[in-house]
């Protein structure tokens, strides 16, 4: 049985990996959908959109990152609470704001900064709670 400290550290590492993959995946997906354009909910419209999506390279790279997100998410959920991991995933929004300011020199509005502060405060509060509050019925894999 791991100690709570070890549990916290490995949860943090896995959450960081999860956030990195999820954000890269989402950004690539948005870029791919901008390339494809608005999808029409008609039979030819959906067929056309399907053809465009399966041949779009950006979308596939996005899906690769989202698979990385899924694997790290599944792994962390095997030991930590869902209600502990889920809010931690929101740190990506705060991270993107910092990146936009530092690397892209974008001006960040006061409202956005308030949002970043709220996310960080929320994560600090959730981080104070126990990462696992339920018994794990499955045995650790040998």
Partner 1 sequence: MTRVIVFLGFLIFGSTGGEIAITRGMKATGEPERLRPRELLRFLRKALGNGWFWAGIPLMALSFYSLLLLLSWAPISFVIPASALSYVVGTFGAKYILGEEVSVARWTGVVLVCAGVALVALG
Under the binding rule (CB under 8 A), the answer on residue 82 touching partner 1 is yes
Under the binding rule (CB under 8 A), the answer on residue 51 touching partner 1 is no
Under the binding rule (CB under 8 A), the answer on residue 102 touching partner 1 is no
CA distance 4 to 7: 5
Confirm if 59 and 110 have CB atoms less than 8 A apart: no
CA distance 49 to 36: 7
Under the binding rule (CB under 8 A), the answer on residue 68 touching partner 1 is no
Which DSSP category does 81 fall into?
-
Confirm if 32 and 56 have CB atoms less than 8 A apart: yes
Under the binding rule (CB under 8 A), the answer on residue 47 touching partner 1 is no
| Interacting residue ranges for partner 1, rule: CB under 8 A | 10, 29-30, 33, 36-39, 41, 53, 71, 73-75, 77-79, 81-84, 86-87, 90, 93-94, 97, 109, 111-112, 114-130, 133-134, 136-142
């Amino acid at each position: 049985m791991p100690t709570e400290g070890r549990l916290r550290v490995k949860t943090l590492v896995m959450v960081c990996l999860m956030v990195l993959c999820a954000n890269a995946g989402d950004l690539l997906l948005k870029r791919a959908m901008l390339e494809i354009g608005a999808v029409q909910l008609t039979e030819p419209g959906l067929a056309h959109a399907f053809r465009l999506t399966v041949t779009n390279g950006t979308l596939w790279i996005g899906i690769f990152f989202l698979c990385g997100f899924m694997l790290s998410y599944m792994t962390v959920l095997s030991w930590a609470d869902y209600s502990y991991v889920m809010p931690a995933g929101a740190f990506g929004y705060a991270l993107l704001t910092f990146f936009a300011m530092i690397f892209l020199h974008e001006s960040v509005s006061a409202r956005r900064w308030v949002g970043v502060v709220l996310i960080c405060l929320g994560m600090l509060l959730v981080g104070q709670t126990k990462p696992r509050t339920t018994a794990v019925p499955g045995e650790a894999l040998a």
